[in-house]
Amino acid sequence: MRPSLQELVDKYRNNLYAVAFNVCKNAEDAEDVVQDTFIQYYSTGKQFETEQHVRAWLIRVAINKAKNINSSFWRKNKVSLEEYMETLIFETKESAELFETVMKLPEKYRIAIHLFYYEDYTTSEIADILKISVSNVKVRLSRGRSLLKETLKEEWEYDE
């Protein structure tokens, strides 16, 4: 199967943006990542087994592209995270605090946490997307949760 580009743009642009932002912590870079990810989809002509397969592929490509930007020696420094956060309208004070705390986590924990809590992926699906072992995903999730709990206290529950 190969869904139309427009269909995927409509459906996943914000998911890809959120995952890309989670990695590169910069709005302009995240938007570039979303665009480049869709361009890659358009130009590869790859066939997929299911819609979930397409979604996982898009997310994997977006994460890789965002990581490339992060590791790029030519990376542009644009609006800071703090400045960008001031433009976001959070529903509650706790939401803003959670967002800020997650963004302070080390990148490898942040991505695993995001895929689990936002994209609803299982540990084995996350392992497949990030090309790491399931036990490694569990370790990253566990350490990420502990760090969130440390800061957020009663605003974050113990879970698995």
Scanning residues 100 to 129, which ones bind another protein (CB under 8 A)? 102, 113-114, 117-118, 120
- CB-side exposure of 103: number of CA atoms within 13 Å? 18
151 counts as binding another protein under rule CB under 8 A: no
Closest CA to 117 of 64, 70, 160: 160
Report in angstroms how near the CB of residue 119 gets to another protein at its nearest. 10
Residue given tokens 């956060």 in the structure block: 85
Q: How remote is the C-alpha of 129 from its chain's centroid?
A: 11
Candidates 18-26, 48-56, 121-129, 135-143: pick the segment binding another protein (CB under 8 A).
18-26
Rule CB under 8 A: say whether 27 interacts with another protein: yes
**Cα(90)–Cα(138) distance, integer angstroms:** 29
Examine residue 77 and tell whether it contacts another protein (CB under 8 A). yes
- Give the torsion through C-alpha atoms of 126, 160, 113, 118, to 10 deg: 80
Alpha helices, DSSP H, located in 72-106: 81-87, 93-104
Q: Does 67 bind another protein (CB under 8 A)?
A: yes
Look up residue 32 and give its two tokens: 């570039």
**Least distance in Å: CB of 36 to another protein?**
8
C-alpha to C-alpha distance for 3 and 20, rounded to whole angstroms? 22
| Interaction between residue 94 and another protein (CB under 8 A) | yes
Task: Let me know: does 28 contact 74? Beta carbons within 8 Å.
Answer: no
50 vs 159 by CB, closer to another protein: 159
Piece in contact with another protein (CB under 8 A), picked from 48-56, 74-82, 121-129, 133-141: 74-82
Contacting positions for another protein (CB under 8 A) = 5-6, 9, 13-14, 17-18, 21-22, 27, 30-32, 34-36, 38-40, 42-46, 60-61, 64, 67-77, 88-92, 94-96, 98-99, 102, 113-114, 117-118, 120, 131, 155-157, 159
